[in-house]
Amino acid sequence: MKYAAESKTLPRIFVYSLGFILNWPLRRMMTAIGYSPRIGLPGPGDAVAIWGRKPVSKRGRNIAHWRNARLVSFEDGFLRSVYTGRQGDDSLSLVVDPLGIYFETGQENQLHQLILATETASKADLERAADGMDMLRRNHLSKYNDYPLAPPDLPREFVLLIDQTRNDASVVGSGASAETFTKMLQDARRDHPNLPIVIKTHPETRANTRAGYFDASAATGQTILFDAPVSPWHLFERAKSVYVVSSQLGMEAIFAGHRPVVYGKAFYSGWGLSVDRHPQTTQHLPRSAPQLFLAAYLQYTYWYDPFHSRQSSFENAAQMLRIQANAAREAQTPLICHGMRLWKRGFLKSYLSGPAGPPRFIEDEAKAIAKARELGGKIAVWAGKETSSLRENAARANIPLLRVEDGFLRSAGLGAELVQPVSLAFDDLGIYYDPIGESRLERLIAEAVNLPQYELQRAENLRRNITDAGLSKYNLGGEVPEIPARMGQRIILIPGQVEDDASIKKGTRKISTNLALIKATRSLFPQDYLIYKPHPDVEKGLRSGEILGQTSADLILPNANIAALLDRVDIVSTMTSLTGFEALLRGKQVICFGAPFYAGWGLTTDHGNPPERRKARPNLTALIHATLIGYPRYWDPVTGNPCPVETVQERLASGDLGRGSGRSIRLLAKLQGLLASYAHLWR
């Protein structure tokens, strides 16, 4: 689908308010969609930009009329940000209307024309729109997203009434007033005398930046003034009916399956999707909810990628907003970090700081638990540093415990060389490499069998981009020499591992050394060509696992590019190495002598007794989604902000990794290499 701006030449555009001049995020968005705001007087064929219907827009209107220039209205899109604009949050979307503006329904506007035109929408466009509606619901996304995901403490069933900010342009533009809100409440009480009425306040009212139409005086009888942060999708699930004037939540209620009672001339009323109580609402030929979504979200709205300062899509912007909202929710709770090495604390502090302040690093277990109890916070422990006493004492104190580990697209360099990661896994159940107990990743893999098709397509796109770019966990580069296998020989790759690594200790039984793995593989493939690749940490002398003496491998390939090597082999034989998962991404057969997270699901040949509880049978795409999209959290290496996996994938593929680890960290890494035999002092 084309963006609206792609089908025509955009005019020069002039601005006459400081918001357009000084708001650099807005200017970047305008530039990304093809507009370059400038100061001066417009000439023939030029345009004047105004923001919505703010009082300052009158200046632009007058100049446009004087100079006979086109008037173009800009406004936030329907998925904006986590916090409101008045709270300083930048938007991920923009609507640009050369005819009017969508909330002024008494005047012509482009959204109205687009809704009319959906009569001839293609099946593919309507399916995409239906997926978009589902994406909003599943991810609890709305215009503003500063709310927890827990269901609200409200009656089991109620009538939902939506408040708005007083004298908002969308209220005035819909032909409504304060009296309209009063009548709406009276009607709701009359229509539903036996049900409680829940008045949902506007986020800006809750943030004390703008007054609403209802205050505490409305909370009489069965009427509840509800100003707590809450996902509107939870409200829609329990509402018997929804009453609204012109709020965007009325449109979202339609997407949730409601037929809201609408008191203003809202842009979504008059299409057969609502009960319309404004006497001047024009009734059009009916439209479906997907047609409304198609026009509003996929055709009318421009979407923005702040990580690359470019135009994006609804789907990408929705994923970005989901990531940002989840990060904001996590940052509401104080975090006590335990077992974190000194060099990791800088990026952890950068990644995990938020409204609750920066994470606190406490090495004494008792003190960490006491501080978490005092602050009502969580404890995050590096997974390898978790002890049974910490686990038991945290549980006894009812303190959530998160195990932290590197993600699976980690960096361009080794963690053992102190290269900062761009992804981390936070696991509240266990940790992915320990098959003894269930991990959050294991649960996500089991649940992935029920993912919608659009999520599976996202995972497939990610798989293709990773393999096309030759990415792996560490992305170390290197060459792959010619492999002198004979005709008819299968090439089997045996990835070496760090033998004292936690994944070996937890996930293996009989086969737990690199030499034993080579012998076991040779016994399975006596006539085939075996390649052994030592682990990068072992190659550099930073970890244990070096093979001493002869092996039955035909070729040992240190410093080889693992991604390129995987393209040249037929089979991977491993204990628990992530290389097995990377081989699955590339369609290779994988044999497991241990119980890594990707074993036991029917996708590998298992000799390592994976847990019997892994009974689900996800396909490879579902496994990829759980492992690379659902489980880790990612941070953009350039901006340091939470981001989707696709941003990290693109950064790694392009080599655009920002500042890196810093000179002091690199010097420390070199010193660590020189003192590898003393690694126990810092590991």
Rounded CA gap, 52 and 297, in Å?
18
Q: What is the DSSP letter of 474?
A: S
- From CA 561, how far away is CA 472, in angstroms rounded? 9
Position 478 scores a pLDDT of 76
Per-residue model confidence (pLDDT) at position 507:
93
Q: Measured at the alpha carbon of residue 245, what is the angle toward residues 256 and 287, in degrees to the nearest 5?
A: 50
Q: Residue 418 is which amino acid?
A: L
> Sign of dihedral through CA atoms 370, 372, 375, 376?
negative
Q: Which tokens hold the place of 183?
A: 């009548």
Task: Say if strands 555-556 and 605-606 run parallel, antiparallel, or are unpaired.
Answer: unpaired
Distance from C-alpha of 111 to C-alpha of 100, rounded to nearest angstrom:
9
CATH architecture of 145-285: 3-Layer(aba) Sandwich (3.40)
Only one residue has tokens 């009672």, namely 261
Question: What is the C-alpha to C-alpha distance for residues 563 and 353, in angstroms, rounded to an integer?
Answer: 34
Residues in contact with 612: Cβ distance below 8 Å, sequence separation at least 6, in sequence order: none
Task: Give the pLDDT score at 672.
Answer: 42
Query: From 1.20.120, 3.30.460, 3.30.1540, 3.40.50, which CATH number describes the 448-620 domain?
Result: 3.40.50
Q: Which helix (H) or strand (E) holds 191?
A: helix 178-191
Are residues 362 and 371 in contact, defined by beta-carbon separation less than 8 angstroms?
A: yes
Q: What are phi and psi of 96, to 5 degrees?
A: -130, 115
Q: Alpha-carbon distance 45 to 624, whole Å?
A: 51
- The confidence score (pLDDT) of residue 84 equals 87
Helical spans, DSSP H, in 232-364: 232-238, 248-255, 289-293, 314-330, 345-352
Q: Are strands 223-226 and 378-382 parallel, antiparallel or unpaired?
A: unpaired
Helix/strand/coil (H, E, C) string of 387-450? CHHHHHHHHHCCCCEEEEEECCCCCCCCHHHCCCCCEEEEECCCCCCCCCCCCHHHHHHHHHHH
Q: What is the mean pLDDT of each run of 10 residues along the chain (683 residues)?
A: 49 92 92 92 93 91 94 96 90 96 95 97 98 98 95 96 95 96 98 97 89 94 95 97 98 98 98 97 96 98 96 97 96 96 92 93 96 97 95 96 95 70 96 96 98 98 96 81 93 94 92 95 97 81 60 90 94 97 98 98 96 97 98 95 96 79 45 42 37
| Segments of the chain assigned to CATH 3.40.50 | 145-285, 448-620
Cα dihedral 532, 535, 540, 542 sign: negative
* The two structure tokens encoding residue 182: 């009063």
Q: Dihedrals φ, ψ of 503, to 5°?
A: -65, -30
- Report the C-alpha gap between 105 and 274 in whole angstroms: 16
What is the Cα gyration radius of the chain?
29
Which helix (H) or strand (E) segment holds residue 494: the answer is strand 491-495
Residue 503: closest CA among 589, 584, 431: 431
